[in-house]
Structure 1
Amino acid sequence: MYRASDAVDNEEWTAAIAEAAERLDLDTEARSRAVDLFLTNVPEEDRSKRAVMAASVYVAALTTGEQRSQSAVADATGVSRLTIQKRWKDVLESAGLDAPEW
């Protein structure tokens, strides 16, 4: 879980989530879940925040039934598909869900 101050400290990143969600045409539930996932998993290092933000958007879309491809999320968030591929399972598992064994 995260604190309210985490949301204030990371306004730049929650705004980036909102922009990416808009580009991906995600609904309110997916947008809210992406912010929750990001704030729950926000890393200390600034350079890792974009990767966690992108993975959070991907997982939020996946878990709310608004599936988007890793490539589409990568384009919308400004990261590589490989970045999402490396991070999304950790974000999913932090939410208490098991990653599929595809």
Structure 2
Amino acid sequence: MSRRAWVASTQQSQWHACDVSDAGGSLVMACGNRLYEPFHRRIGIDPPTNHFAVCQACAAAVHWQPTQPRPPHTARPLWPTTDPDDTNTLARTHDAAALAKAA
């Protein structure tokens, strides 16, 4: 399995995907573009998160999709129905348990 690198030429503003190689001078990207030195190269599955955009043709070629932020949790918290510090509630709970045992 080859490792992926994301490369951005100093003359362009997009990250392109390519396989990691030691070749210098120029690289052929997944979209077919050829990038020439000088360029920025980052090894990893995901492109760096900075001001560069991601080449959509490269993203499609390597089946990369941006991670979606999780939606905020909208469910209401499960609060207790009774106050554990309320002595009347505690007495009623024990009375109900005693009545249930007696029955």
The TM-score with structure 1 as length reference comes to 0.28
The TM-score with structure 2 as length reference comes to 0.28
Structure showing greater radius of gyration is 2
Structure with the bigger percentage of strand:
2
Structure with the bigger percentage of helix:
1
